[in-house]
C-alpha cells in the first residue's frame, strides 16, 4: 500500500499520460458532441502503457506482458474498427448508443450536467480505470530480477485463452448483426436469433455476455503477472480488475434494460441464460 503514496518515475510518467489523455478526450468530446473518444482509446492505451513500462524496466516477464497486451489491443481495435468506431477524422466515428440514451435521461439532460458527467466519469474515471487494470506493469517493473515461474505460465495461458474466447464471441456478434442488417435473412446460421432480434446462439447460449466476461477475465489473468513478480497473492493492483468488474455489471444492467424493452423475448432469455458465469447443467 505504501507504493500508492510513494510515486516512482514510471508511476508519474503513466499518470501524466493518463491525465493528458483524459483532458484531450474531454475537450474533443465536448467540442464534437461525440462522447465515444475514450472508447476509441480503450484498446490502445494499455499498449502505450506497456511500451513505456518496458522501456523503463525491461525484463522477460515485461516482454511477455507487452506481447499479450498488444495481441489483446490490436484484436479489440480491429473489432472496434469494423463496427465503425474509427474514422479517417480521428474524433469522428460511431458513438456508443448508450451515451445518446443517457443524454435523454432527466438526471443528465442538459449540456452542463452531461458535461460534468463527461468530465468525471466518461473522460477521467474511464481513463483512470484503464491505467488501474494495466497497473501490474508498474508492480512488475519493481521486480526486474525475479525469474519467470509457474504463475507466469498460468497467467499467460489464461490471458491468451480468454483473448481467444473474446475473439470468438465478438466474431459471432459481428456476423449476427451483419445478417440482421441484410434484407434476406439467413435460413441456417443464427436463424433462431434472427427471429428473436437478438443473439442467443453460439457462446451466447451459455452466457448473455461472453465477450464481456472474457474481457474481465483477461485483466484478472493479467493481475497474476504482478503476483508472479512480487510473490504477493493480494496486492494493490487488484483494484483495477475489481473496478472493471463493477463497470461491466453497471454497463450490462443498462444494456439489458434497453434490450428488454426492445425485444419481446428478451425477458425469457434473461431467465434462461446466466449473465456471466455459465451453468454446470444447462436448461433445455
Question: Mean pLDDT over residues 145-171, rounded?
Answer: 98
- What is the secondary structure of 139-177 as a DSSP string? HHHT-TTSPP-HHHHHHHHHHHHHHHHHHHHHHHHHHHH
Q: What is the DSSP letter of 106?
A: T
pLDDT tens digit sequence for 178-236: 999 886 555 678 999 999 999 999 999 999 999 999 999 999 999 999 999 999 999 99
Give the pLDDT score at 109.
86
Tens digits of per-residue pLDDT, 27-42? 999 999 999 999 999 9
C-beta of residue 92 within 8 angstroms of C-beta of residue 37: no
pLDDT one-digit tens code per residue, 109-139: 888 999 999 999 999 999 999 999 999 999 9
**Best mean pLDDT range from 10-24, 78-92, 98-112, 188-202:** 10-24
- Say what the pLDDT of residue 283 is: 61
What span, in angstroms and rounded, lies between the C-alpha atoms of 38 and 109?
A: 21
| Contact in structure between 197 and 183 (CB atoms under 8 Å) | no
Mean pLDDT of the chain: 93
- 158: cell is 489464461
Q: How many CB atoms lie under 10 A from the CB of residue 137?
A: 27
* pLDDT value at 5 more than 50: no
Angle at 89 between CA 84 and CA 94, to 5 degrees: 25
> For residue 167, is pLDDT > 70?
yes
Reference 146, options 46, 27, 60, 269; nearest CA is 60
Inter-residue contact 37 to 123 (CB < 8 Å): yes
Specify the higher pLDDT residue, 18 or 181. 18
| 67-81, 138-152, 178-192: range with lowest mean pLDDT | 178-192
Q: What pLDDT is recorded for position 4?
A: 47
Amino acid at each position: 500500500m505504501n507504493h500508492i503514496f510513494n510515486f516512482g518515475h514510471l508511476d508519474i510518467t503513466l499518470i501524466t499520460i493518463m491525465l493528458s489523455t483524459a483532458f484531450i478526450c474531454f475537450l474533443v468530446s465536448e467540442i464534437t458532441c461525440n462522447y465515444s473518444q475514450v472508447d476509441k482509446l480503450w484498446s490502445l492505451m494499455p499498449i502505450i502503457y506497456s511500451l513505456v513500462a518496458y522501456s523503463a524496466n525491461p525484463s522477460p516477464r515485461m516482454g511477455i506482458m507487452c506481447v499479450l497486451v498488444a495481441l489483446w489491443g490490436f484484436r479489440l481495435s480491429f473489432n472496434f474498427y469494423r463496427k465503425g468506431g474509427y474514422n479517417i477524422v480521428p474524433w469522428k466515428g460511431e458513438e456508443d448508443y448508450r451515451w445518446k440514451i443517457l443524454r435523454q435521461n432527466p438526471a443528465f439532460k442538459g449540456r452542463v450536467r452531461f458535461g460534468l458527467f463527461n468530465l468525471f466519469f466518461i473522460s477521467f474515471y474511464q481513463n483512470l480505470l484503464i491505467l488501474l487494470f494495466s497497473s501490474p506493469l508498474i508492480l512488475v517493473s519493481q521486480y526486474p530480477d525475479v525469474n519467470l515461474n509457474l504463475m507466469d505460465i498460468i497467467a499467460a495461458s489464461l490471458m491468451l485463452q480468454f483473448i481467444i474466447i473474446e475473439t470468438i464471441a465478438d466474431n459471432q456478434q459481428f456476423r449476427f448483426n451483419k445478417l440482421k442488417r441484410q434484407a434476406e435473412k439467413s435460413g441456417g446460421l443464427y436463424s433462431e436469433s434472427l427471429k428473436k432480434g437478438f443473439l442467443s446462439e453460439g457462446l451466447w447460449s451459455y452466457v448473455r455476455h461472453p465477450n464481456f466476461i472474457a474481457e474481465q477475465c483477461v485483466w484478472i489473468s493479467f493481475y497474476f503477472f504482478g503476483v508472479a513478480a512480487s510473490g504477493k497473492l493480494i496486492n494493490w493492483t487488484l483494484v483495477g480488475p475489481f473496478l472493471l468488474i463493477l463497470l461491466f455489471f453497471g454497463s450490462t444492467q443498462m444494456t439489458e434494460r434497453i434490450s428488454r424493452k426492445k425485444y419481446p423475448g428478451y425477458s425469457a432469455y434473461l431467465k434462461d441464460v446466466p449473465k456471466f458465469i455459465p451453468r454446470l447443467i444447462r436448461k433445455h
